[in-house]
Each structure stands twice: as structure tokens, then as C-alpha cells.
Amino acid sequence: MLRRLVLLAALFSPVAGLAQTAGQVLISPTAFGASDCASTTMEVTISWTSSSKAAITTGDAYRVFLSKGSIACSSATPGVTQFKPDITATSLSQSYPGVADPLLYANEFMTGAGVSCGTTTTVNICVQHIGTSSTMPKGYAEGTVIYEAVAPPVPTGVSVQPGDSSLFVSWSDGTSTGVPAVSYNVTAVDPANTADTHTQNFTGKTNNRIGGLTNGVTYSVTVTSVSAGGNESTPSLTPATGTPQPVSGFWEQYTAGVHREQGGCSGGPAGLVALLGVAMALRGLRRRS
Amino acid sequence: MSRVAVAATLALLAIAAPALAEDRSNGERLAGAGSFEFQMGQYRPMIDSEFVLPAGTPGPWESSFGTSRRWMFRLHGAKALFRGYGTLELGAGVGYLQANGHGIFADGTVSEEKTSFKLLPLSLDLTYRLDLVWERLGVPLVPYGRISLLRDQWWVTGAGGKSSMSGATNGWGWGGGLALVLDYIDPATAREFDRDSGVKHTMLTFEVQKATVNDFGSKSSWDLSNDGLMMTFGFMFAF
């Protein structure tokens, strides 16, 4: 029995020893929109942390690979053409382009990954940490970034409830386009006075309160959805209308008629003095006893 | 609530029954340096009582927050002043309650706009606990009573957060209750708790309170007294 356990340990220990958890690659921007694909002005930065447990030694380098397909990042042969020449490793956490490197623009990044503009694509990024003594990477890091070729779905079913100088707007996500919405732009406009237009961006929720409106004015409300890459859908098809109205909160209701409480601490100081007085009296009694 | 109170009292009496049936002389002193207590109970102020309204017409509190009572939580610390048949403690407490509701339109319909009422009740209390029931008779049910000076700090937020008001209202109150000495149930754990934390005794408390908080009858104060008696329960730790 003991021999079997020793054998099992011997079999699995090399695997456990060699297995590495991939380091992380981060891309700035975190997503690309439709207009970014061919951009020659949008700067891209690739940052990573090597999974290597060993410190950087002289001769170490990083190799960056981009692909819309898979990359065998932990392998000596990743199966993808290297994106840039070897980058001298100076730290386990590093980024490209460095201070001395030319800027990297979105169009070059997309071309390097083999992305066709017009097709939503997830780009895989692999950074290998290469040493001088072996063809196997000392460490590696992986990440993805999405290029969104289309806008997220057009919101549907917009409904409006009046609030005080505000409207409570709710809506639904429309038919999926393959690109999810991460935020929504809610626009309320007075059709009789288009200068009275209010737009607010809300993240995540499909209902929210748009404020800063004028009570008594009927607003037309539309919603657009926005993707992580900044693509914005067309506005919801049928605008909803709503008219903000004054609302009485608890205090307004309490003070609407004849009432006693005025707020503040009118009776407060007397009460505090009484409380302190009792405390001091008790303390005095205790001392005497 | 009264049914719950009766049930809880009966439960406490049931637990205490074995102790009543035998002569126990191993009770220990409950009193030490002082005590610390956590309490919770349900509260509804009598704010609407100052308005004479037609039948069926809700007052401002009811129309904003409804008729249900809200949970109030309190922490209370006390220092022992005197020990005889029982213990006299001087203490102070702080609590918290929050009620959230919706504002109304001019026609009385409920809006989506939120309005809230927050209460921070402060108290200065004198508590007398009849420890001899446990210490000499070995009965783990210790009666106690207290009188309090109260100061309720409050904050009101209007519809959509556009208006707010705050203030303080003073008053007084009394309370009486029973503390079930939990050491009786598991003395070994109690001794371990004492060694680890310095807590000599742990008690489950059940208390009836009456508070009158209206700036001592001032004509310019609303009434934050609890609507009826407040039943609380909690834990008391004696050091």
C-alpha cells in the first residue's frame, strides 16, 4: 500500500511541479468598438505579468502573440506568428509599447491578430517569458479582448412613471446582436422645446431615474444601449412620454397643515442639559456613598 | 405581538421550572463591573396622533411608511453602581431605526419617489436587576426594571432626496423584563466563555418598554413615543 502511494506521488509530483497558472494580460482599451478597427489614432497598450516564479535574469525576453484563433501559449511552439520582435525583459510585470518603443495603434493590433473589420471577433493575446537555457517558456501570460463590429440591441418596451422633477424609466434589452449592452443612454426631450433635452448614462440596470426635469412638462423619452467598445444602438423605436409632477415626501406631508414639530433641536439643549444633570447627580451620589 | 410575548414568557417559565422544583445554592454573583446588551424590538411612532383626520384618512407617517412596525436595534452598556440584593447599574444606550417609503402625488396616489425617516435613539438609564433570584435561589430568571432619559436624533429625507430635515426630541421611559441566565443551561460553556472573553454571565432578555418622547409635552414637538408598549428581546453580557 505504502509503495503504491509513493509511486502515485512520484507520478504526480512532476506534473504538479511543472503546472503553472497563466499570468494575466490586460489590454487598454478593454474593448474595441466598430470605428476602432481601422483607427490609426487609437493607442493600444498590452500589459502582462509573467507566471514565472523565478526572477528576471540577463537575456530573458518576452514574445507577444496575437490571434483571433487559439494560441498554445505554454508551448515552445505557440502555432502563431510572433507579433513583434523579442522584448527585453526587465520585470515580471511589463507592458508594450515601452518608453522607447513606437506607439501601437488599433489598426496595427487588429491586423496583427488577423481580424477582419466588420466581424465581431475575440482576440487572444499571449505573452511568453523566454529564458536563455531552454526553448520552453519560463512563464507566460494570457488574455483576450473583444472587437465589437456591431451595436448592442436596440432597447424595447420603454415605459415611464412620473417623479418629482424626474421620470422613472424602465426598458428591456432587444433582440441580441451578439454584442451585449453594458450601459444605456436615457434621453428625455421636450418636443415643444428641444433645448430642454436631458441625457443620462446608466450602467447595468434596465430601469432608472432621470432627474433635472421640469414639473408639468411632458417629455418624450428614448433609450439607446452602449457596448463595452462604445458602440451605441439606435434609439428605442417608440418614444414613451411622461410628465414630472410634484411629490410630497414624509416631511412635506407632515408640514402641509397645522403641525407641531419645526425641526432642529429647539427642545434639544434643554434635554441635553437634563441628561447631563442626571448623570452628574448620579456621579455625586456615588462619590458620597 | 402579545401572543409572541405570552409564548416567550411560557417558554422561559418552562425552562425555569426544573430550577424552581429543587433547592439550588450554586448560583453565582451576576454583578461584576457592568454589562453590555443588544436589544431589538418593533417600533412605530405616534406622529400621526397629533392630527385629527377623517376616518380612513392616513396621517403623514401612515401614508409614507404604512402601518407596520419597524425593527429597532439597540446597544446598551452599563456600569454597576451598587450591589445588594440586586445590582443598580447606570448605563447609556444607542439605537437605530430606518423607515423607507414613497412620496405621494397631489391626488394622493403613491409615487416612485422615495422618502425616509432615520432615528438614532440615545438613552441614559438606571437599571435595577434583582440578582438574588439567581444567586440565592438558583432560579435562572432574573427580573429587572429600568427608567431612562431619552433623546431621539432624527433625520427625514424628502421625495427624491430634494428636501431634508433633522432634529432631536427628548423624553423619558421605563421598562421591565426578565433575563434568562443562559449559564444555567450550559455551565461548562459559560465558564469557557468567561475564561476566553471575560464575560461572566450571558442572559437572554425579554423586556417590555414604554417611552414618552415628545419633549416632555412640548406644544412644538411631535410625538416619537412608541405606539403602545414595545416588546424587545436581546442578549445581555455581564462582565
Residue B226: which of B181, B191, B177, B174 has the closest Cα?
B174
Residue B12: which of B175, B135, B180, B143 has the closest Cα?
B180
For A263, half-sphere exposure in the C-beta direction (CA atoms, 13 angstrom radius) is 12
Confidence (pTM): 0.74
Residues of chain B neighbouring A159 (CB-CB closer than 8 A): none
Distance in angstroms (rounded) separating the CA atoms of residues B173 and A275: 13
Q: Give how far Cα B134 sits from Cα of B26, B27, B200, Å.
A: 9, 6, 14
The answer to whether the Cβ–Cβ distance between A162 and B111 falls below 8 Å is yes
pLDDT of B22 higher than 80: no
Of A163, A254, A265, the CB nearest to B113: A163
Question: Which string of b and e fits B202-211 if b means at least 16 CB within 10 Å?
Answer: bbbbbbbbeb
| Whether B115 contacts chain A with CB within 8 A | yes
3-state secondary structure of B138: coil
The answer to whether the Cβ–Cβ distance between B170 and A268 falls below 8 Å is yes
Burial class (CB in 10 A: 0-12, 13-18, 19+), A135: exposed
The arrangement of strands across the sheet holding A207-210 comes to A156-163, A166-172, A207-210
Distance in angstroms (rounded) separating the CA atoms of residues B177 and B43: 17
Residues of chain A neighbouring B172 (CB-CB closer than 8 A): none
- To which H or E segment does residue B62 belong? helix B60-65
For B187, half-sphere exposure in the C-beta direction (CA atoms, 13 angstrom radius) is 6
Residues of chain A with confidence (pLDDT) below 50: 1-18, 289
* pLDDT score recorded for residue A271: 56
Distance in angstroms (rounded) separating the CA atoms of residues A245 and A248: 10
Q: Is the CB of residue A158 less than 8 Å from the CB of residue A222?
A: yes
In B, residues 196-225, which contact A (CB 8 Å cutoff)? 215-216, 218-222
- Residue limits of CATH 2.60.40.10 in chain A: 156-242
Domain parsing of chain B, residue ranges: 2-238
Query: Could you tell me the end-to-end alpha-carbon distance of chain A, in angstroms, rounded to an integer?
Result: 78
pLDDT tens by residue, B175-230: 999 999 998 888 888 888 888 888 888 999 999 999 999 999 998 999 999 999 99
* pLDDT score recorded for residue B84: 82
* pLDDT score recorded for residue A156: 96
CATH number at B2-238: 2.40.160.20
Residue A105, strand partner residues: A43
Residues of chain A neighbouring B166 (CB-CB closer than 8 A): 263-264
Angle CA A190–A191–A192, to nearest 5: 90
- A21-147, what's its fold? Immunoglobulin-like (2.60.40)
Distance in angstroms (rounded) separating the CA atoms of residues A75 and A144: 18
* pLDDT score recorded for residue B192: 87
pLDDT tens by residue, B109-132: 999 999 999 999 999 999 999 988
| Whether B120 contacts chain A with CB within 8 A | no
Distance in angstroms (rounded) separating the CA atoms of residues A149 and B136: 83
* pLDDT score recorded for residue A135: 82
Of A163, A247, A263, the CB nearest to B165: A263
Of A247, A270, A275, the CB nearest to B160: A247
The answer to whether the Cβ–Cβ distance between A209 and B101 falls below 8 Å is no
Q: Give how far Cα A77 sits from Cα of A44, A51, A141, A143, B111, Å.
A: 26, 18, 15, 18, 64
Q: Is the CB of residue B232 less than 8 Å from the CB of residue B71?
A: no
* pLDDT score recorded for residue A16: 41
Query: Following DSSP, what letter does each residue of chain A receive, concatenated?
Result: -HHHHHHHHHHHHHHHHH----EEEEEESSEE-GGGTT-SS-B-EEEEE---SSPP-TT-EEEEEEESS---TTSS--SS-BSSS-EE--SSEEEES-TTSPP-BHHHHHHHHTPPTTS-EEEEEEEEEE-SS-SS-SEEEEEEEEE--SPPPPPEEEEEEEETTEEEEEEE--S--SS---EEEEEEEETTEEEEEEEEEEES-SEEEE-S--TT--EEEEEEEE-TT--BPPPPSS-EEE-----B-HHHHHTSSS-S--SBTTTHHHHHHHHHHHHHHHHHHHHH-
Query: In this prediction, does ipTM exceed 0.95?
Result: no
Q: Give how far Cα B238 sits from Cα of A283, B133, B179, B207, Å.
A: 21, 16, 11, 17
**Going by C-beta distance under 8 Å and a sequence separation of 6 or more, which residues neighbour residue A271?**
B149, B151, B168, B169, B170, B215
- A156-242, what's its fold? Immunoglobulin-like (2.60.40)
Task: Flag the least confident range among A117-126, A197-206, B18-27, B31-40.
Answer: B18-27
Query: Could you tell me the end-to-end alpha-carbon distance of chain B, in angstroms, rounded to an integer?
Result: 32
The answer to whether the Cβ–Cβ distance between B103 and A275 falls below 8 Å is no
Residues of chain A neighbouring B216 (CB-CB closer than 8 A): 267
The answer to whether the Cβ–Cβ distance between A282 and B81 falls below 8 Å is yes
Of A165, A257, A260, the CB nearest to B222: A260
Residue of A nearest to B168 (CA): A265
Residue A50: which of A97, A101, A91, A99 has the closest Cα?
A91
Distance in angstroms (rounded) separating the CA atoms of residues A224 and A191: 18
Min Cα distance B207 → chain A (Å) is: 23
pLDDT tens by residue, A134-190: 888 999 999 999 999 999 999 999 999 999 999 999 999 988 888 999 999 999 999
Q: Is the CB of residue A47 less than 8 Å from the CB of residue A28?
A: yes
- To which H or E segment does residue B132 belong? helix B132-135
The answer to whether the Cβ–Cβ distance between A247 and B151 falls below 8 Å is no
